[in-house]
Structure formats: C-alpha cells, structure tokens
Amino acid sequence: MFRREMPPEETRSGWLIRMNDEGVAPDTAGDGFLERVEPWPADALRLGYWHDEPVAVSVEAGDADANTTPWPAAREWLATISPAYSELLATALQVVRWARDHRFCGRCGHETRRRLHEFAMQCDHCGLRGYPRISPCIITLVTFGREMLLARSPRFPPRRYSTLAGFIEPGEAVEAAIRREVMEEVGVNVGRVSFFKSQSWPFPHSLMMGFFAEATSRRIQIDGVEIADAAWFLPERVPELPPVYSISRQLIETHRGAVATR
Ligand SMILES: [Zn+2]
C-alpha cells in the first residue's frame, strides 16, 4: 500500500515510476509500472513508501524513439489497476505536473525550490509557498424515484451517457455547486443531496466528490453547450455507460442496486 510519508532526502533507491509526456513505462515483467531501481535518476521526485519501500517518480524526455512502442497512457493504466495502485499513480501524475509548472514564484517571479519534507515549492525571495493544486469537482447522479437523469457531452463517444459534473467555484459551498450545476446543465431543481464517495482524477488535478441528488422537478431543459442530450432512464434500461472504475459508473450501479428490488 501507498504511505504518504516523505522518505529521507538522501534516499536514492527503491521503487521507481518512469513517465513521459505521453505515458507511463511498463516494468520489465510487463504487468505493472513499478521497477526497483538503484540509484534513482538525479531528478527523481520522492513520493512516499510503497509497501514500506521508498517510491519515486522520474520524467523522461518526451521524444519517443520511433522504433519503440509508446508507453501506455495514464488513463489506460487507471482503467486496469487496483485502487491502491491508482492512488499511487494519481499522486505521481499530479506531483510531476505541479513540479514542472511551479518552477517560478507566481507572486514575484523568482525561481522556487522544492521543500524536502512535503509537496511544496518555496520562494526564498518573497516567502511564498506553493502546494500542489487540487481542483474540487462535484459529480452527481440526479434521481427521481427509481429513474436516473443521465446526460451526454458532445465530447463523449457516440451513445455514451453519464452523470453530471462540474467544478466548484471560489467561495462556493459543495451543495450549492451541485444545485447550480444541475440547474445550469439540465434545468432541474434538486432537493436532498447525499454524499457517496470521492475519487482523485489526475487529469490534470481534479478531486471528484460524488453525490446522489433527488430531483424535485422532472422537466429537462439542456443548455446545449456542455450537454448535447439528457434524459431520464429506468435502472433496467440504461444507455452505454462510463467505465466501471469511474465514480460516475459507481454512482449509477449503486442506485441500480438500491432500487432493483423495489
Ligand atoms: Zn516569490
């Protein structure tokens, strides 16, 4: 399991995740992405411990050799690995991007340095300390009795429908974001909301907070921009759904299970 404790600064070996702009390297056995490496590359970023052994991530140049197979994309890995591996990989993806994007202070423009005992970039010129950005999102299954409101974005594969989602805005409470997003996207009023679970979604740094939301009105009016179509579905007659590892699918399947015997 992944333990969120920073290995000592002098740690130079253990598990290593190798990635580039396109993907994550498979290990030599070909069934995972963790390799024991000694020593780690000089620019390796320490992440914590994987089963009590230090683990780090390193980024390699994006220019793939034309003769080698491209590394599988992070999304492909997340579709197949267990939740414990997903947590580790999501952490690695977000820390790598954050370290790359915060090399200079956003306040005074001087170069930052990485703090050794936590995920933080320190500006020694003005004192600003920057932490990895995490963007909270709501994702919600709107229900009306046994029915589920599912919608499709213009970006989805053909025939795919999913739950509604959106970013929480500055100053906004989570439950207010749910009501606003549902109203904006499908024009439906929401009454009671209840928390389901959350899931890190590292594309690039979302934290999906899953909720069930009970509709108090049924008439759908789509916005036509973020949503191409939306409809009420009975649990036994659903369209093509998102992949099983997504929190969206878990919301849908949990509701279907709960109302199956009614
Ligand atoms: Zn500064």
Domain residue extents for the chain: 2-101, 135-259
**Ligand 1 centroid – CA 130 distance (Å):** 10
Distances (CA, A) of 145 to 82, 134, 142, 192, 259: 33, 34, 10, 12, 9
Report the predicted TM-score, pTM, of the whole model to 2 decimal places.
0.89
- Which CATH fold would you assign to the domain 2-101? Nucleoside Triphosphate Pyrophosphohydrolase (3.90.79)
CA of 122 to the centre of ligand 1 (A): 8
Length of the chain: 262
Domains 2-101 and 135-259 share a fold: yes
Give the class (CATH, top level) of 135-259.
Answer: alpha beta
What letter represents residue 70's amino acid?
A: P
113 C-alpha to center of ligand 1: Å? Answer: 11
What's the whole-number mean pLDDT along residues 231-252?
95
What is the number of H-type helices and E-type strands within the chain? Answer: 4, 14
Lowest mean pLDDT among 73-82, 104-113, 163-172: 73-82
Give the whole-angstrom CA distance, residue 20 versus residue 73: 9
Residue 64: is its pLDDT beyond 70?
A: no
What per-residue confidence (pLDDT) applies to 69? 81
Angle at 61 between CA 58 and CA 63, to 5 degrees: 145
Residue 108 Cα, ligand 1 centroid: separation in angstroms?
4
CB 40 within 8 A of CB 47: no
Q: What are phi and psi of 71, to 5 degrees?
A: -70, 145
CA of residue 105 to ligand 1 center, whole Å? 5
Q: What is the 48 CA–ligand 1 centroid distance (Å)?
A: 27
pLDDT digits (tens, 9 = 90+) for 86-100: 999 999 999 999 999
pLDDT band at 61, cuts 50/70/90?
Answer: confident
What is the 100 CA–ligand 1 centroid distance (Å)?
17
Show Cβ contacts of residue 55 under 8 Å, excluding neighbours closer than 6 positions: 2, 14, 15, 16, 17, 34, 46, 47, 48, 49, 88
Distance separating alpha carbons of residues 55 and 234, to the nearest angstrom:
46
Binning pLDDT at 50, 70 and 90, where does residue 136 land? very high
